[in-house]
Amino acid sequence: MTLIKKPVTGMKEIMPREMEIRAYAQGIIRETYESFGFTSIETPCLEDINNLCSKQGGENEKLIFKVLKRGEKLNLETAKTEADLTDMGLRYDLTVPLVRFYSNNANELPVPFKALQMGNVWRADRPQRGRYRQFMQCDIDMFGEATNMAEIELILATTTTLGKLNFKNFEIRINDRRLLKAMSDYAGFDKDKFDEVCIILDKLDKIGLEGVKEELVKEGFAETSVDRYCALFDRADGTLKTLDRLKELLGEALPAEVSANLYEIISSVESVKEADFKMVFDPTLVRGMGYYTGTIFEIAIPEFGGSCGGGGRYDKMVGNFTGTDVPACGFSIGFERIVLLLLESNFQIPGKGVKCAYLVDKDMAKDLYAKILKSASEDRKTGKTVLVVKMNKNKKFQKEKLTAEGYTEFKEFYADSYKG
């Protein structure tokens, strides 16, 4: 029988060069977040299908890989719908599992609880270049901190991490769902239509402000309201001046604590930040997930078009599990994009040890071979990588190949001239 050699559709195999970068980036991420007092936790890759299909995940719920029931629970004859056939699914993000974990273990966890997660998630998206159906997410989340100490720390920890990975000159764009609501109210849009307005505003990157205007009108929103709405974004320049202006325009429609919160986060981060980046106030920032309740933020890296991660406050989600809301705020790094950028920039991992290849004569006697292994072991103690490998007939070609793999030192051992 011949088996299938290709990986399953839309999922990738990771080769040694990329694995090195991934391990290095994961190390920096873990080390930096831990220095801020975040602690790692892990949940199973599979979750109860009811948790995954509970409307927390928006569009992602359509992309779940579902697992077939097993044993007597599976009854093909009586099964009428998909729901009869499955009991679990592969997680599509790390947030729903984390909130479940927190709800299950809150009594044992410190307050505030600061979690770090690095793990794979799965989405049955249409396969396309650079987008895979299995990918890694790196999330930090804080539970039990209602003030913007949470936002400030999440942003400082994430940007410090990106700085250590050599990213420069990037932006953290910030906004607040409550400001988005206030602007929609101010324009005179129906409160029920808020989500629809946000979905259209979210296209601004692609279709521009004129495009947003046109689409709003096309969708039946009153032209005067649309004009009033779009005028709010007219002179947005990313600075706090834009926020001043919005505050003035919106007046009482915008709760004072919303703007105060944004001022505090932006100014605190700006005065403490380590990495080379800018805080940008962006009143057009939407972030897809419906579960956000306050501040939202996103990483924009110039070398990369779209967002390289983001997060925000979701104070209502724990309540879905326990009946009691708990303040929560998280920041997710787009790990696969970060790795892609590092690979494309030909990133060199600092402080890597020397790689040395021992080329050993095929006819080497076993007792001499043991001496070579001992010498390799001594060399490894100095921090070197030592590859012990048979010498090929075409030694030159073999060395070229090894050089391409990063080997810079070579030692040759011949059976007839071994000196110990």
Range 28-47, binding its own copies (CB under 8 A): 30, 34-37, 39-47
Stretch that binds its own copies, among 103-111, 195-203, 293-301, 329-337 (CB under 8 A): 103-111
From 72, 82, 192, 248, residue interacting with its own copies (rule: CB under 8 A)? 82
From 93, 139, 151, 153, residue interacting with its own copies (rule: CB under 8 A)? 153
| 138 scored as a contact of its own copies (CB under 8 A) | no
Strand 409-413 to 46-48 pairing:
unpaired
Write down the least CB distance from residue 147 to its own copies, Å.
8
What string of DSSP letters covers 333-394?
E-HHHHHHHHHHTTPPPTTPPPEEEEEE-TT--HHHHHHHHHHHHHHHHTT-EEEEEEPPSS
Strand 295-300 to 170-176 pairing:
antiparallel
Give residues with Cβ within 8 angstroms of 312, minimum separation 6.
177, 287, 289, 292, 294, 295, 296, 297, 329, 330
From 28, 152, 198, 217, residue interacting with its own copies (rule: CB under 8 A)? 152
Stretch that binds its own copies, among 64-72, 178-186, 209-217, 337-345 (CB under 8 A): 64-72
Among residues 166 and 398, whose Cβ is nearest to its own copies?
Answer: 398
From 223, 227, 244, 274, residue interacting with its own copies (rule: CB under 8 A)? 274
Among residues 241 and 374, whose Cβ is nearest to its own copies?
Answer: 374
Write down the least CB distance from residue 409 to its own copies, Å.
13
Among residues 395 and 401, whose Cβ is nearest to its own copies?
Answer: 401
From 104, 224, 403, 408, residue interacting with its own copies (rule: CB under 8 A)? 104
Write down the least CB distance from residue 414 to its own copies, Å.
16
C-alpha–C-alpha distance, residues 70 and 47, integer Å:
15
Q: Scan residues 241-270 and list those touching its own copies (CB under 8 A).
A: 264, 267-268
Among residues 199 and 349, whose Cβ is nearest to its own copies?
Answer: 349
Question: In what order do the strands lie in the sheet containing 295-300?
Answer: 39-40, 113-122, 134-143, 328-333, 307-313, 295-300, 170-176, 277-281
Please, what is the Cα angle at 130 between 128 and 133, to 5 degrees? Answer: 65
From 130, 220, 251, 323, residue interacting with its own copies (rule: CB under 8 A)? 323
From 66, 164, 193, 411, residue interacting with its own copies (rule: CB under 8 A)? 66
C-alpha–C-alpha distance, residues 383 and 397, integer Å:
27
C-alpha–C-alpha distance, residues 334 and 117, integer Å:
13
Give residues with Cβ within 8 angstroms of 353, minimum separation 6.
383, 384, 385
Question: In what order do the strands lie in the sheet containing 409-413?
Answer: 385-390, 355-360, 409-413
| 348 scored as a contact of its own copies (CB under 8 A) | no
Write down the least CB distance from residue 171 to its own copies, Å.
20
Among residues 235 and 366, whose Cβ is nearest to its own copies?
Answer: 366
Write down the least CB distance from residue 204 to its own copies, Å.
31
From 224, 377, 394, 408, residue interacting with its own copies (rule: CB under 8 A)? 377
Please say whether the dihedral angle defined by the alpha carbons of residues 14, 299, 54 and 327, taken in this order, is positive or negative: positive
C-alpha–C-alpha distance, residues 61 and 83, integer Å:
13
Among residues 224 and 392, whose Cβ is nearest to its own copies?
Answer: 392
Is residue 161 packed enough to be buried (19+ CB in 10 Å), middle (13-18) or exposed (0-12)? buried
Q: Scan residues 355-374 and list those touching its own copies (CB under 8 A).
A: 355, 357, 366, 369-370, 373-374
